[in-house]
Structure formats: C-alpha cells, structure tokens
Amino acid sequence: MHDPQQLSFGGKVQALLALGRIPLASEVPLWAIYGCLLSSWIFQANNPAIGNGFDWIAATQCVLVVWGTNISINYGNEYFDWDMDRPGMVASIRKDVEAREKVARDFKEKADGKAPGEKEVAEKARKEFGNEKIMGSSSRIIHDGTFPPYVALACASFIQVLILAMILLSRGNDPHLSSSLSTKNTGRFTPFRGVALQIGVLCTFLSQTYVGPPLRLHYHGLGELVSAMLLSPVATLFGMVGYYTATTGRSIPFSDLFSTSASSHSGFYLDSQLWYMLAAYYFYEQARILIMHIHDIDADKKGGKITFVVRIGYDNAKRLYVILNAISLAFFGLLAISFGSGTGSLSTIGSNTVMLGGIGALLAFALPIIVITARSLFYHSPSNRGGPDVESIIPILPHADLAKIVSLQTLLTPAIMSVVVLAATR
C-alpha cells in the first residue's frame, strides 16, 4: 500500500537509523567489551606486554566489528523478511490511513463555521497528525513507499563494507603482516589474525544468513540456536582473543582454545572456569531468544517461517525456557564453587569475594525476571486458556512486555559483570 511519509532530511535519517534498530544492537558490543576486560586482566601476568593499562584502541576495533555486523544484520533482516512482513504491514498502513481520514473529516466538520484563524490551527493539527507515523513501526518506511525495500539491503551492505575496510586498514598497519613496516616497533598489532579472524569470518557468514540466503537459518529452525551462541559466549570469546592478539602480537591457533594452561603455543588458554562462564551465558541467552520469538508463532507459521519455536510449539518452548535457565544456574553454581576454591583463570583477576558477590548480584537481578517470565508463559499457554485464575504475588505480563524485560536482563548482564571485573581488580 502506497502511503509515503512526508519527512524532512533529518526525519529520513532518523527513520533509517530506526530501521537498523541500533539501540537494540548494543548487547553484543557490551559482551565484547567484557571479553576484552577479561583478557586484559587474566593474561597480564603471563604476558607483560598487555599489563600497561587497558588498550582502548584494540577494544574499540573488536567492538566496532561486532556492533557493526549486528546493525548490518538488522538492516538485512528487514530486506529478506519483506515478503513475510508485507501482509501485516499493509493492514497496519491501511488502518493508519483510515484513522487519518477520519481525523480529517472530524476536523473539517469542527472547522465549519469557525473563524479563519481557528481553521488554520485545525488544519495544521491535522497535518501534524498525519506525519506522526514513524513511531508506529520502524519497518514501515520500506512498506509504505517512503523508501524502496532495497534501501535496507544497501544500508546493510554499506556497513559491512565499512567493517571490511577497517579490518584491512588494521591488518595493513600490523608489522607482522606488512612488509613496509620493517620493525616491530612500527605500527600496531591487529586483532584480526589467527582464530580471532576465523571466528569473525564464520560468525559474519552465519549472522548474515540468519534470515538471508543461502542458509536462511531462521526459516529452518536453526536461527534461535545460532543467534544465542553468537550473541553472548562467542562475542565474549571474540573480545578475549581479539584483544589478546592485538596487545601481544601473538596469533592464536584454533587448538589453543582447548588448552587449559599458559603453556599453549600462543599463551592463550581457556580453563574449566572460563568454560563454565561461557556455558552459563549461552544457556542464559538461549532462554531469552525463545521469549523473543514465542509470541510470533502464529504469524511465523502463516508466513512460512519455520523457526525453532514454531517447530517445538508453545508448550514445549515454555518448558524449555525453564530448563535452559536451570542449566545456566547450574553452571553459575559451578563457577561460584570454583571461586570458592580460589583456582582458575578468573580467580587471578583479583578479589574472589568481589567476583562471588558479582555473581550473587547478577542472579539477584535476573532471578525475579526469570520467575515472572516463566509464570507468565505458563499462564498464557494455549493449554491453560480458559482455566481458572490463580492468585499469586508473582505478576503476569503480556508477551510484548516479557520480550522487553528479558532483553533488559541480557543487556545489563555484561555491563554488570564488567563492573564486577573492574571492582575485583581494585
């Protein structure tokens, strides 16, 4: 349906930024920063080269890659989901047009018999109402004729090209990779070597094919599984290996990810404590991803998007949400026990008491959200519809609000844990 918005240049920029959902892409860079902080403190004893303060240039490069890729994916998803979103968007646009026409008729009726000045005020208000459509849905601008759909793909491609240019520039300034830099005292080491580069390339491919071709993972029941892996544990790991590579100049081979001590080829390692941490974050994130898609089951079925949640159904998804959080809590428990014993790479950061307190603070913040979400899911379950209401002190929220609170939960988690790491080093 053609109903283009009359936007100023600034309004068009704002609309395009909203299309990329840039604020919602902030979780991944926070995980990457967290990984950089871990790397800077865990490995400084074994590698004095990275003990000279936090390297913000190295961290910024890692963050820009994951953040930019996430924004690029958001734009790409808008383009490749266009056909599926079209029926719902047309219906929404038609409702807006009808509402605007009704307002115009009402203003016309009220304006009859009024003084000229009052008519001008009424007409101005009517026009302003007609332009206040951008707030309804960020996707609308490529469905109502404001922008053609390919603009979303162009934005995705442009951002990905900028990321590639930054990577090439960074690698070109690395004395290990550029013959023009004759000594290792010239230039800066790049994060984009070895396993860090391999992780980046693989994750970019998987991310871009989340909705886009050739894999279209989200349409075949794999999108939720892959995105949960990439959003927190892999983003954290990328921050760790990228920062380590940039600050030591050592390229990490893939095999060192499974080394448990600093005697590895590069000096980088992941011991059991770090694996407990990454596992806890993975199941924690996977639970959130279920909530983000559970309310779309009916719409996804109609559109032919057979997501993981569509495959297992609502009732199984609500049970899986509880199970995933229980597994995550078990890994947090193992992590807490390891802090109690004082062994492990995370224990070298600083005060184990502060680290334990940080985990406690995180769970004190997350557990109420988990309980409220689980209670609401079971209440809204199709198998429970029509059943008696049971009084409870636990509030029941609609699906739209559940998506907001679990997103806030995982958005703040890396920020909280980053503060904990900094506090433990004091």
Task: Tell me the pLDDT tens digit for each residue of 110-127.
Answer: 666 555 555 565 555 555
Averaged pLDDT, 179-202:
80
Across 27-36, 94-103, 158-167, least confident range: 94-103
Residue-wise pLDDT for 328-344, tens only, equals 999 999 999 998 887 78
- pLDDT value at 47 more than 70: no
* pLDDT given for residue 123 in this prediction: 57
* pLDDT given for residue 205 in this prediction: 95
Higher-pLDDT residue of 99, 58: 58
* pLDDT given for residue 304 in this prediction: 86
C-alpha to C-alpha distance for 264 and 257, rounded to whole angstroms: 9
Query: How many percent of the chain have pLDDT more than 90?
Result: 62
Higher-pLDDT residue of 391, 37: 37
Q: Which residue has the tokens 């983003």?
A: 235
Averaged pLDDT, 352-363:
93
Averaged pLDDT, 268-275:
94
* pLDDT given for residue 132 in this prediction: 46
Residue-wise pLDDT for 230-263, tens only, equals 999 999 999 999 999 999 999 999 999 999 888 8
C-alpha to C-alpha distance for 341 and 324, rounded to whole angstroms: 26
The CB density around residue 10, as the number of other CB atoms within 10 Å, is: 8
Residue type, 108: K
- pLDDT value at 2 more than 80: no
C-alpha to C-alpha distance for 149 and 92, rounded to whole angstroms: 17
C-alpha to C-alpha distance for 88 and 76, rounded to whole angstroms: 19
pTM confidence score? 0.88
C-alpha to C-alpha distance for 373 and 396, rounded to whole angstroms: 8
Q: Sorting pLDDT into bands at 50, 70 and 90, what band is 302? A: confident
Mean pLDDT of the chain: 87
